[in-house]
């Protein structure tokens, strides 16, 4: 299977391993990730104001490229995925926004075809669940993670707004727990798994962000987790910064690559 892939700025800098483990795992599972040409940073957060189109154009460019290739658009960073999915939804539901975007894009290129959110946007987790299937993932496991107790940390961007993201039940998600089970480990359920880590407020009010992160860390630790997994570089940063070395926080793709036996291969470097 071939899909369009939007890595995003952080996966090219401080989260290189998130990208590398994703690529290595995809290859091991028979999926080809075709990187979007000349992609631009998604902006990190979706702007809800409906009069802004400039902040949404990088998503539009990636979406229209994937759509032209008739491929789903896959990303692995929670933030990129959130921004792209929300932008795509706006193209489907807000006629005035779509009109202005299409007018602008047409001015940039004569070959532009009108777009109304036709592309399918998928997080890598959805690709694993809906296209490959967790049973196939389980069958491909070479090094079972048996004995590990793992806390899935969703944060906010993967799930919300639920109407748009449509990935899982926003209050009682299970997609990451199901993956953890497929890899042979035991998921640990705790209350703060879908609460915000403090996000970008870490720059402006580090103390507020620290309080949010501590709630997540304390929840996972008191539920008996050995390890927290996330899909978001900012969640990981906030949790590590405020967790000192209480508990390791890793990307879910690192565990996947480890279980599939490709973590040490050249593809993962």
Partner 1 sequence: MHNKDNVTERVLRISGVNARRCMKCGKCSASCPSYDEMEYHPHQFVYMVESGDVEPLLNSRSIYKCLTCFACVDRCPRGVEPVKLVEAIRLEVIREQGANHLRADDVPAKIDEDVPQQLLVSAFRKYAK
User: How many residues bind to partner 1 according to rule CB under 8 A?
Assistant: 44
* Residue 47 within binding range of partner 1, rule CB under 8 A: yes
Which of residues 92 and 265 has its CB atom nearest to partner 1 in the complex? 92
Answer whether 150's CB lies under 8 Å from 252's CB. Answer: no
Q: Tell me the C-alpha distance between 84 and 59, whole Å.
A: 5
* Residue 234 within binding range of partner 1, rule CB under 8 A: yes
Q: Near partner 1 by CB under 8 A, which window of 21-29, 68-76, 132-140, 226-234?
A: 226-234
Q: Tell me the C-alpha distance between 141 and 124, whole Å.
A: 17
- Backbone φ and ψ of 234, nearest 5°: -75, -40
Q: Near partner 1 by CB under 8 A, which window of 20-28, 39-47, 68-76, 116-124?
A: 39-47
**Is the Cα dihedral 33, 251, 16, 53 positive or negative?**
positive
Which of residues 45 and 189 has its CB atom nearest to partner 1 in the complex? 45
* Residue 45 within binding range of partner 1, rule CB under 8 A: yes
Q: Tell me the C-alpha distance between 159 and 73, whole Å.
A: 17
Q: C-beta of 7: minimal distance to partner 1 in Å?
A: 12
Give ∠ CA 81-195-260 in degrees, rounded to 5: 55
Token pair of 160 as six digits: 């919300």
Which of residues 39 and 237 has its CB atom nearest to partner 1 in the complex? 237
Q: Which residues bind partner 1 (CB under 8 A)?
A: 8-10, 13-15, 41, 43-51, 55, 77, 79, 94, 156, 160-162, 170, 195-196, 198-205, 208, 212, 232-234, 236-237, 240-241
């Amino acid at each position: 299977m071939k899909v369009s892939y939007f890595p995003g700025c952080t996966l090219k800098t401080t989260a290189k391993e998130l990208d590398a483990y994703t690529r290595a795992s995809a290859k091991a599972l028979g999926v080809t990730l075709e990187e979007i040409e000349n992609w631009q940073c998604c902006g990190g957060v979706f702007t809800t104001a409906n009069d802004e189109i400039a902040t949404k154009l990088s998503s539009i460019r990636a979406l229209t490229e994937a759509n032209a290739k008739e491929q789903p658009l896959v990303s692995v960073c929670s933030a990129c995925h959130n921004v792209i999915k929300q932008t795509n939804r706006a193209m489907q539901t807000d006629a005035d926004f779509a009109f202005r975007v299409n007018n602008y894009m047409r001015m940039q290129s004569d070959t532009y075809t009108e777009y109304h959110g036709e592309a399918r946007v998928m997080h890598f987790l959805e690709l694993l669940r809906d296209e490959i299937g967790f049973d196939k993932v389980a069958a491909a496991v070479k090094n079972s993670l048996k004995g590990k107790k793992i806390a899935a940390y969703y944060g906010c961007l993967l799930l919300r707004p639920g109407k748009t993201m449509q990935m899982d039940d926003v209050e009682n998600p299970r997609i990451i727990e199901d993956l953890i089970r497929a890899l042979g480990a035991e998921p640990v359920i705790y209350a703060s798994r879908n609460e915000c880590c403090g996000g970008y407020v870490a720059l402006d009010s580090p103390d507020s962000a620290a309080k949010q992160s501590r709630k997540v860390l304390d929840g996972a630790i008191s539920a008996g987790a050995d390890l927290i997994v996330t899909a978001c570089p900012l969640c990981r940063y906030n949790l590590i910064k405020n967790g000192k070395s209480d508990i390791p926080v890793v990307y879910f793709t690192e565990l996947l690559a480890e279980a599939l036996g490709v973590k040490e291969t050249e593809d993962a470097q």
